[in-house]
Structure 1
Amino acid sequence: MINNSGKVAVIFGVRNEESIAYNIAVKLHQSGCKIALSYVEDTRDEVIYLLEKLGLDTQLAMQVDVRDETQISSFLNAVYKTHGPIDYILHGVAYANTRVLCSNFIGSTEPIPAYIDIPFEDLMDSFNISAYSLLRIARVAENLLQTNASILTLTYNAANRVIPQYGGMAINKAALENIMLYLASYFRNKQVRVNAISAGLVMTTSSGGINGVRKMRKLGKYMAPLGNIDAGDVGDAALYYFSDLSKKVSGNIHFVDGGFNIMAVPVIDAE
């Protein structure tokens, strides 16, 4: 059992109970970690409820727009002043509207652009939240981190392969992975490790509402040698990175997708 007693973790990206970030928060709490969660305006009540459900102090839950460095600074410094140096940071933030995804939400008839017509302003806002925010959080956290701290972000295989329902969000994930690599090198003198988990398709509130996702999930049953995953599988892998077991692992993209990423075609067993 991983023992994180006395460790301090900050988690960006919890939306509700279905979130991968929330599952990771639960695993960290169970391992003995002190945790602080950020939220946005429309997730405040849900995040506070989840903290109370775990019996945790809600004072270190704070509204943070990751586009605003001042808000990130206020949050991380509040954690630092209360608990001391930060051991773990999870960057689980992502956002794209339908014009960036080039895919509609279930039940919506809103016109969506072709990939070649993705609006620049929409893409840049999505990039700001989903990718550049990792750099911004790392910059603010640099002098607040414990030696041998661990920063982890969440990516997706659409950064490397064409998944039509992901559209411009794939650009963000490709950029996010590159930012992760350069941060892993940047933090060498502080012995801070930076890694990414590339998770398979998990039916969260956000992903579950996109047209075509259920067909992708069904395909995963045949494509991935070990089948589809759930948020708990990602949480288990994250705990490795949020422990001393990974103290010499940095710049790694760790696939937790049942092996989906190794396959070129699905394998359907003859019956």
Structure 2
Amino acid sequence: MINNKDKVAVVFGVRNDSSIAYDVALKLHQSGCKVALSYVEDTKDEVLALMDKAGMDPNYASQVDVRSSEQIDQFLNKVYKGLGPINYILHGVAYGNQKVLCYSLPGSTEPAPSYLDIPFEDLMDSFNISAYSLIRICRSAKELLAQNASILTLTYNASQRVFSGYAGMAINKAALENIVLYLADYFRGQHIRVNALSAGLIMTTSSGAVSGIRRLRKLGKLAAPLGNVSADDVGNAALYYFSDLSTNVTGNLHFVDGGFNIMGVPNDEE
């Protein structure tokens, strides 16, 4: 087991126990980290209950809208003053409404919005939460990070390949991956590493909004050499980046998708 005794980790993006971010937070806690979670108004009770069940200290959990620099500042400073310099940050936040993801609302007789008709304002709000928030978090954390700190975000292969059900969110993931590269260069002077995990499609609350999710999971089972992955697989990979094992790894896009990203078509043997 990786030993993170007394290190401090901040996790953005836990919604419930199906969240990839929660699996990462749990593994950080089990490895010895002091873990602080953010939540939003409608997830507060769920997140605090999960922390209590896992034996995490809830005193440093805070409600944070990642569109607000002030709220991020307050959260990170609270953690820094109470627990010390921050070693690890997970950015696991993403959001896109049905106009961005181009799907019809349940029970609606209206057709799904067209990709060409994605409203600019909706896309920009989605970008603000899903991509630009990583810059905002890093700006707030810059002076609060420990030496050799590690920052990690979660992305998806729709940034590079077409998954029609992902629509406008793919724009955000492409931007997010580019942001990782530039942040990795920006933080070179502090020897802080910034990386991204590109997870396979996992059944979470957020992925439930993706049109055709079950068909995509079936495709992943057929196409990926190792089949579909779980949040546990992604959490294990994250722990590598949240440890001294990855001290000199930065700007990396790490696929945890059973090898789906290397395939052109499913293997006929399946």
Q: TM-score, normalised on structure 2? A: 0.98
- The Cα shift of 1:183 comes to 0.2
1:3-53, CA deviations, whole angstroms, 9 ceiling, x for partnerless residues?
A: 000100000000000000000000001100000000001100000000000
- The AA in structure 1 aligned to 2:218 is K
- The Cα shift of 1:179 comes to 0.5
- 1:178 is aligned to 178
- 1:18 is aligned to 18
- The Cα shift of 1:211 comes to 3.0
Conserved? CA contact 1:87–1:148, under 8 Å: yes
- The AA in structure 1 aligned to 2:204 is T
- The Cα shift of 1:116 comes to 1.1
Q: Distance in 1 between matches of 2:109 and 2:130?
A: 25
Q: Distance in 2 between matches of 1:55 and 1:64?
A: 22
- 1:47 is aligned to 47
- In the TM superposition, structure 1's runs of 4+ consecutive aligned residues that sit over 6 Å from their partners are none
Q: Distance in 2 between matches of 1:108 and 1:47?
A: 31
1:89-129, CA deviations, whole angstroms, 9 ceiling, x for partnerless residues?
A: 00000000110011236655454321111100000000000
- The AA in structure 1 aligned to 2:84 is G
- 1:157 is aligned to 157
**What are the within-5 Å matches in structure 2 for residues 1-271 of structure 1?**
1-104=1-104, 109-269=109-269
- The Cα shift of 1:182 comes to 0.1
SS class of match (1:166): coil
Note closer, same or farther for the CA distance 1:107–1:35 as it changes in structure 2 (3 Å cut): farther
- The AA in structure 2 aligned to 1:87 is N
**Identity between Structure 1 and Structure 2 (%):** 70
Conserved? CA contact 1:105–1:211, under 8 Å: no
Q: TM-score, normalised on structure 1? A: 0.97
Note closer, same or farther for the CA distance 1:86–1:197 as it changes in structure 2 (3 Å cut): same
Q: Distance in 1 between matches of 2:5 and 2:68?
A: 31
Conserved? CA contact 1:153–1:196, under 8 Å: yes
Q: Distance in 1 between matches of 2:262 and 2:73?
A: 40
Q: Distance in 2 between matches of 1:21 and 1:255?
A: 16
Conserved? CA contact 1:10–1:36, under 8 Å: yes
Note closer, same or farther for the CA distance 1:105–1:89 as it changes in structure 2 (3 Å cut): farther
Conserved? CA contact 1:104–1:211, under 8 Å: no
Q: Comparing 111-120 with 171-180, which one deviates more in the overlay? A: 111-120
Q: Distance in 2 between matches of 1:105 and 1:228?
A: 27
Q: Distance in 2 between matches of 1:110 and 1:18?
A: 30
Q: Distance in 1 between matches of 2:218 and 2:106?
A: 17
SS class of match (2:215): helix
Q: Distance in 1 between matches of 2:106 and 2:234?
A: 26
- The AA in structure 1 aligned to 2:28 is L
Kindly report the root-mean-square deviation, in angstroms, between the aligned alpha carbons of the 2 structures.
Answer: 1.1
1:129-158, CA deviations, whole angstroms, 9 ceiling, x for partnerless residues?
A: 000000000000000000100000000000
Gaps of 5+ in 1: none
- The Cα shift of 1:267 comes to 1.1
SS class of match (1:198): strand
